[in-house]
Amino acid sequence: MQLNHAQRELTLKIVYYGPGLSGKTTNLRFIHSRARPEVRGRLLSVETHEDRTLFFDLLPVFFTSSSGFKVKLKLFTVPGQVIHDATRRVVLQNADAVAFIADSRRSATEENNAYWRMLQANMREIGLEPSQVPVVIQFNKQDLPDARTEEELDEARRKGAQPVVGAVALRGEGVMETLHAVAQSAWRHLDERMRLARNIGLTEKGFLTHIFQQMELRGTTLESLYPPEKPG
Ligand SMILES: Nc1nc2c(ncn2[C@@H]2O[C@H](COP(=O)(O)OP(=O)(O)OP(=O)(O)O)[C@@H](O)[C@H]2O)c(=O)[nH]1
Ligand SMILES: [Mg+2]
């Protein structure tokens, strides 16, 4: 988090972390496609010719609050291939929250677990205390055979402390819900420490509304929470 009172700017960093090919870049591409140009910048991707993330993807989402504060959300993905461990550590630096993108297939369980442990290790290596960084778990690729069922996701919800979202990122299902959960977690965590409502005159509801009112939410569970602004 960067809070610059003189420039009246607040920047939050959210990192999409997870095994190779779990769908991290697909999440960002979908968000980019559904955000109005007023609230988003370019999607910057550094990838191989096979579409594997080589360094990171970055999508900035931003708005100016009614109190005149510029609020920027920087969405990053890490590269999932095993060899890029050092890069994952660099990208994770100063993360305010993490969206852990897992592959729902049972055959991917071991890999998910390995990357989960790697996430904790990476955080420690860069001086982040894992228990102090909010994490939201997305079980992506729910469309594939052998994917965990909704009941199994419920079990994960009961067992773990983190919010769990099922997704088919390729079709955009669960993508906005994941972003909402991780943005909300990041905000709450920062607000506890920084008293953002008092210090910059922005509430959680205001923060989320500024972002999600400018997203195309049709067909998502967020639609009724953030009805589009009426023109005029
Ligand atoms: N069936 C299915 N395929 C998906 C889904 N989401 C992503 N994919 C596919 O999975 C492949 C990998 O997706 P990416 O978004 O590039 O994965 P990544 O996590 O960014 O991979 P790295 O950059 O290598 O870490 C692509 O072919 C996607 O089209 C999904 O929900 N269902
Ligand atoms: Mg990628």
Choose which residue among 26, 57, 77, 83 to substitute to test ligand 1 binding: the one with the highest number of ligand atoms within 8 A of its C-beta: 26
Residue 229: band (very low, low, confident or very high) from pLDDT cuts 50, 70, 90: confident
Run of H or E including 213: none
Task: State the number of CA atoms in the 13 A half-sphere of 158 facing the CB.
Answer: 6
Q: Within 6 Å (CB) of ligand 1, which residues are found?
A: 20-26, 51-53, 77, 79-81, 140-141, 143-144, 168-170
d(CA 152, CA 171): 21
CA angle 206, 207, 211 (to 5 degrees): 110
Pocket-testing residue among 170, 171, 178, ligand 1, by greatest number of atoms within 8 A of Cβ: 170
- Cα of 200 to ligand 1 centre, how many Å? 38
Closest atom of ligand 1 relative to the 27 alpha carbon: 15
In angstroms, rounded to a whole number, what is the distance separating the alpha carbons of residues 202 and 194? 12
CA of 205 to the centre of ligand 2 (A): 31
Residue nearest to atom 1 of ligand 1 (CA): 141
The angle at the Cα of 53, spanning 212 to 92, to the nearest 5 degrees, equals: 65
The pTM of this model reads 0.97
Contacts made by residues 159-164, CB under 8 angstroms, sequence distance 24+? 162/100, 162/134, 162/135, 162/136, 162/137, 163/136, 163/137, 164/136, 164/137, 164/138, 164/139
pLDDT at residue 232 greater than cutoff 70: no
Asked if pLDDT for residue 77 goes beyond 70, the answer is yes
Which of 15, 17, 21 to mutate to test ligand 1, by most ligand atoms within 8 A of the CB atom? 21
Determine the Cα–Cα distance for residues 219 and 211; give it in Å rounded to an integer. 17
SS3 call for 80: coil
pLDDT at 228 (0 to 100): 77
Q: Where are the domains of the chain?
A: 2-212
For the chain, what's the residue count? 232
Ligand 1, residue 20: give the atom nearest the CA. 25
Residue 52 Cα, ligand 2 centroid: separation in angstroms? Answer: 5
E strand intervals along the chain:
2-4, 9-17, 44-47, 53-64, 70-77, 97-103, 135-140, 164-166
Residues 12/108, Cβ–Cβ less than 8 Å: no
Q: What residue's CA is closest to ligand 1, atom 32?
A: 141
Give the pair of three-digit tokens for residue 28.
């960002």
Burial of 43 (0-12, 13-18, 19+ CB in 10 A): middle
Q: What is the pLDDT of residue 207?
A: 96
Q: Measure 41 CA to ligand 1 centroid, in angstroms.
A: 22
Return the structure tokens found at 194: 């920084």
Residue 197: per-residue pLDDT: 86
Which pLDDT band, with edges at 50, 70 and 90, does 158 fall under?
very high
pLDDT value of position 198: 87
For the chain, percent of residues with pLDDT exceeding 70: 99
Q: What would be the CATH architecture of the domain defined by 2-212?
A: 3-Layer(aba) Sandwich (3.40)
Residue 205 backbone phi and psi in degrees, to 5:
-60, -40
Q: Give the Å distance between the CA of 52 and the centre of ligand 1.
A: 9
pLDDT of residue 231: 65
Residue predicted with more confidence, 60 or 228: 60
Q: How far is the CA of 140 from the centre of ligand 1 (A)?
A: 9
What average pLDDT does the chain have?
A: 95
